[in-house]
Structure 1
Amino acid sequence: MHNDSPATLRNRAPIAAILAEELPDEGLILEVASGGGEHATFFAAGFPMLGWQPSDREPEATQAIRARAAGLGLKNLRVPIVLDAALAQWSVHEADAILCINMVHISPWSATTGLFEGASKVLGADAPLILYGPYIEDEVETALSNLDFDRSLKSRDPRWGIRHREEIDALAEETGFKCTRREAMPANNLLLVYRKQ
């Protein structure tokens, strides 16, 4: 029995509600930075008509996903793969959507640029790249908890930190994506949908 984190228990249903509106009716969903697979197993169960490909840059995480998935009988959940978003070459060459939860702020900027560059090669026209996590927006007052979190992240690794949404939008435009949806989510997070142009 695997225990889900409080954050996952809080955000997975609201995320799933939006995924139901944004994901295609069939095809393969690539989840980048799946961690221990808490979201992957929940979403694979919730979207049985979609193939779900979990991935993570850490081999230990892919082992944790295998352990979590064992015995669940999720036939649409693929074997997890090692994938580093920052690298130019990905082991997945085609997907119908990409989901990335809570990676952008806990990784160097190169991981985010790699995510968009990789997505531009893997996704077809109008396919979504969906991001979830905390972001700073120029026109919206930042929650004090997010400012504290940002300081904490940077103290752990100066390359980390909550990104400005405007920087993400600019990167998206450079790599052929356009933001088509912004949703406020639990605990001062955002869900952002970028579609391939």
Structure 2
Amino acid sequence: MSKPHSPSCERNREPILDVLREQLSDRRHVLEVGSGTGQHAVHFAAALPQLIWQSSDRAENLPGIRAWLDEAALPNTPAPLEFDVAGTWPTMQFDAVFSANTLHIMAWHEVESLFARLPTITTDDASLIIYGPFNYQGRYSSDSNAAFDQWLQARGAHMAIRDAEAVDALASRAGFNLIDDIAMPANNRCRVWRRNPA
């Protein structure tokens, strides 16, 4: 099959990689939630060979991810996991979780489920990194994000750019504390939490 391709993955992968290099320098086993095309998995795993990069997504996206992984043939990219946050969760433990451009695609109850169940698959000091657009204090951070949100809502009423404060509250309830909030190109953010061992 021809590999799926996302132009936005090509554009954002280097800025995200800069964040991952710093934030995951002491990590070993990363779960990527919602790997999409698989482009990020291949790029990040190649650049960060000390990490086992575990891709995952819904069943319909796995063939495309496998195509990217098979072509790259990297030693640190196991077969992708079938993973829907509303379904069966992995049983292994990860010391980091990464997700890009997923929270605004999920329904809010799915976002809640994601955070609520993160402690079941993460180590006591796990890192969590989420890339994408966020609102702050209920306001759009740019006109382009407002337009993007309108486009999302036209695609599905369950989709929306999420409020940073609401996501932080979910993370806090799951035992994750916000440690960084990094401005990224195209009015996106990389938000970084660390699980509190207490």
Which TM bucket (shorter chain)?
A: over 0.9
Give the 3-state SS of the residue equivalent to 1:55 in structure 2: strand
Paired position in structure 1 for 2:113: 114
Paired position in structure 2 for 1:190: 189
Paired position in structure 2 for 1:28: 29
Superposed structure 1 runs of 4+ greater than 6 Å apart: none
Query: 1:126: how far off?
Result: 2.4
Query: 1:154: how far off?
Result: 1.1
Distance 1:181 1:135 in 2: 14
TM-score (norm 1): 0.92
TM-score (norm 2): 0.92
Give the 3-state SS of the residue equivalent to 1:90 in structure 2: coil
Paired position in structure 1 for 2:95: 96
Distance 1:129 1:173 in 2: 12
Paired position in structure 2 for 1:41: 42
Distance 1:26 1:164 in 2: 28
Distance 2:137 2:176 in 1: 20
Query: 1:86: how far off?
Result: 2.9
Query: 1:85: how far off?
Result: 1.7
Query: 1:24: how far off?
Result: 4.3
- Count residues with an aligned counterpart: 195
Query: 1:82: how far off?
Result: 0.6
Q: Contact 1:44–1:76 at 8 Å: present in 2 too?
A: yes
Match status 1:158 vs 2:174: no
Q: Contact 2:57–2:84 at 8 Å: present in 1 too?
A: yes
Gaps of 5+ in 1: none
Give the 3-state SS of the residue equivalent to 2:153 in structure 1: helix
Give the 3-state SS of the residue equivalent to 2:16 in structure 1: helix
Q: Contact 2:6–2:37 at 8 Å: present in 1 too?
A: no
Residues 48-89 of structure 1: CA deviation (Å, up to 9, x unaligned): 1111100002x12111111112232201001001111233x4
Query: 1:192: how far off?
Result: 0.3
Paired position in structure 1 for 2:74: 74
Distance 2:181 2:139 in 1: 13
Q: Contact 2:116–2:173 at 8 Å: present in 1 too?
A: no
Query: 1:141: how far off?
Result: 5.7
Query: 1:139: how far off?
Result: 8.4
Paired position in structure 2 for 1:123: 122
Give the 3-state SS of the residue equivalent to 2:182 in structure 1: strand
Paired position in structure 1 for 2:7: 6
Give the 3-state SS of the residue equivalent to 2:94 in structure 1: coil
RMSD: 1.7
Query: 1:25: how far off?
Result: 3.4
Distance 2:110 2:140 in 1: 26
Query: 1:110: how far off?
Result: 2.0
Gaps of 5+ in 2: none
Give the 3-state SS of the residue equivalent to 1:106 in structure 2: coil
Distance 2:54 2:41 in 1: 8
